[in-house]
Amino acid sequence: MAKFFKQLGLVVATFCLVVAGLAISAPQAAAANVTIKMGADNGMLAFQPKEVEVSPGDTIQWDNNKMFPHNIVFEDAALADLSHQGLLNTGNDDYTSVVPADLAPGSYTFFCAPHRGAGMVGKLIVK
């Protein structure tokens, strides 16, 4: 009987090691690329989409689409690296930023400084 429990213990231990190995070697989710247009396709002073969900490590492509100049300013000072305070003046002036790996989940407001009064405000939702 003791031999049976010893073999059972070895089987259970082996199973646990295999499962743990699979969990450790599971591939990480690939970072996504997200595009936010500055100036809506219909010519309105808006970010399109107005709200976007991202994960840490994702890349955001800010396309200067219509009604420029635009910029990207985050209200939270901790996100200064995601902001682009300088004005993007032409349709060829785009900006790319990467969501920091250590950014806490939450909702972060951003705006275009020249057009904030016209409602050009958006929300970045970090999962």
Residue 7 lies in a domain: no
Q: Say what the pLDDT of residue 92 is.
A: 86
pTM of the model: 0.76
Choose, from 38, 67, 84, 112, the residue flagged as catalytic: 112
Which residues of the chain are under the pLDDT cut of 50?
8, 16-19, 22-23, 25-26
Q: Say what the pLDDT of residue 24 is.
A: 52
Q: Tokens at residue 104, please?
A: 């806490």
Residue 17 lies in a domain: no
- Which H or E run contains 11? helix 2-25
CB proximity list for 88: less than 8 A, separation 6 or greater: 38, 62, 64, 68, 69, 70, 71, 94, 95
Residue 77 lies in a domain: yes
Q: What is the DSSP letter of 28?
A: P
Q: Say what the pLDDT of residue 22 is.
A: 47
What total number of domains does the chain contain? 1
* Residue 120 falls in the annotated catalytic set: yes
Residue 39 lies in a domain: yes
- Residue 61's domain comprises 33-126
Residue 63 lies in a domain: yes
- CATH code of 37's domain: 2.60.40.420
